[in-house]
A and B are shown apart, each in its own frame.
Chain A
Amino acid sequence: MATKLPIYFDHASTTRCDPRVVEAMLPYFSEKFGNSSSRNHKFGWESEDGVEHAREQAAALIGANPKEIIFTSGATEGNNLAIKGAAEMYAKAAAGQTGRGHIISAVHEHKAVLDPCKRLQREGFDVTFLEPGTDGVITADMVAAALRPDTILVTIMWANNEIGVINEIPQIGKLCHDKEIVLHTDATQWVGKMPTDVERDHIDLLTWSSHKIYGPKGVGALFVRRRKPRIRLEAMIDGGGHERGMRSGTLNVTGIVGFGKACELCQHEMEHERERLVKFRRKLETELSRRIEVTQVNGHPEKRLPHLTNISFGFVEGESLMMGVKDIACSSGSACTSASLEPSYVLKSLGVGDELAHSSLRLSLGRWTTEEEVDYAIEQIVAAVQHLRLMSPLFDLHKEGIDISKIQWQAH
Chain B
Amino acid sequence: MAYSDKVVDHFQNPRNVGSFGTSTDVAKRTDVGVGIVGAPECGDVMQLHIKVNEQGIIEDAKFKCFGCGSAIASSSLATEWLKGKSVDEALTIKNTQIVEELSLPPVKIHCSVLAEDSIRAAIADYRKKNGMAADSAAHAATH
Number of interchain pairs (Cβ within 8 Å): 97
Identify which of A36-44, A104-112, A194-202, A395-403 touches chain B: A395-403
Chain A proximity of B66: nearest CB distance (Å): 5
Closest chain A residue to B19, Cβ basis: A396
Residues of A contacting B84 with CB < 8 Å? Answer: none
Q: How many Å lie between the Cα of A390 and that of B72 in the bound state?
A: 12
Chain A proximity of B106: nearest CB distance (Å): 9
A204 at the interface (CB under 8 A from B): no
| Range class of the B interface residue count | 35 or more
Query: Which of the residues A320, A337, A396 comes within 8 Å of B64, measured between beta carbons?
Result: A396
Known: A317-B68, A391-B17. A402 touches B23 (CB 8 A): yes
A77 at the interface (CB under 8 A from B): no
A259 at the interface (CB under 8 A from B): no
Identify which of A13-21, A167-175, A215-223, A404-412 touches chain B: A404-412
- B-facing mask of A333-360, CB < 8 A → 1, else 0? 0101111010100000000001100100
Q: How many Å lie between the Cα of A318 and that of B68 in the bound state?
A: 7
A35 at the interface (CB under 8 A from B): no
Residues of A contacting B72 with CB < 8 Å? Answer: 320, 391
Residues of B contacting A390 with CB < 8 Å? Answer: 17
Asked if A317 and B66 make an inter-chain contact with CB atoms under 8 angstroms apart, the answer reads yes
A394 at the interface (CB under 8 A from B): yes
Asked if A391 and B14 make an inter-chain contact with CB atoms under 8 angstroms apart, the answer reads yes
Q: How many residues of A contact B (CB 8 A)?
A: 32
Chain B proximity of A247: nearest CB distance (Å): 36
Q: How many Å lie between the Cα of A317 and that of B43 in the bound state?
A: 6
A319 at the interface (CB under 8 A from B): yes
A133 at the interface (CB under 8 A from B): no
Asked if A320 and B40 make an inter-chain contact with CB atoms under 8 angstroms apart, the answer reads no
A71 at the interface (CB under 8 A from B): no
Asked if B41 and A354 make an inter-chain contact with CB atoms under 8 angstroms apart, the answer reads yes
Q: How many Å lie between the Cα of A390 and that of B47 in the bound state?
A: 13
Query: Which of the residues A391, A392, A396, A410 comes within 8 Å of B22, measured between beta carbons?
Result: A396
Interface residues of A in 302-340 (CB under 8 A from B): 315-320, 323-324, 334, 336-339
Asked if B66 and A409 make an inter-chain contact with CB atoms under 8 angstroms apart, the answer reads no
Identify which of B31-39, B51-59, B93-101 touches chain A: B31-39
Chain B proximity of A116: nearest CB distance (Å): 28
Asked if B68 and A392 make an inter-chain contact with CB atoms under 8 angstroms apart, the answer reads no
Q: What are 19 inter-chain pairs, A to B, with CB distance below 8 A?
A: A317-B43, A317-B68, A317-B71, A320-B67, A336-B43, A354-B41, A355-B66, A391-B63, A391-B65, A392-B64, A393-B65, A394-B45, A396-B19, A396-B22, A409-B39, A410-B37, A412-B37, A412-B113, A412-B114
**What is A's interface to B at a CB cutoff of 8 Å?**
315-320, 323-324, 334, 336-339, 341, 343, 354-355, 358, 390-394, 396-397, 400, 402, 404, 409-412
**What is B's interface to A at a CB cutoff of 8 Å?**
1, 3, 8, 11, 14, 17, 19, 22-24, 36-47, 63-69, 71-72, 107, 110, 113-114, 117
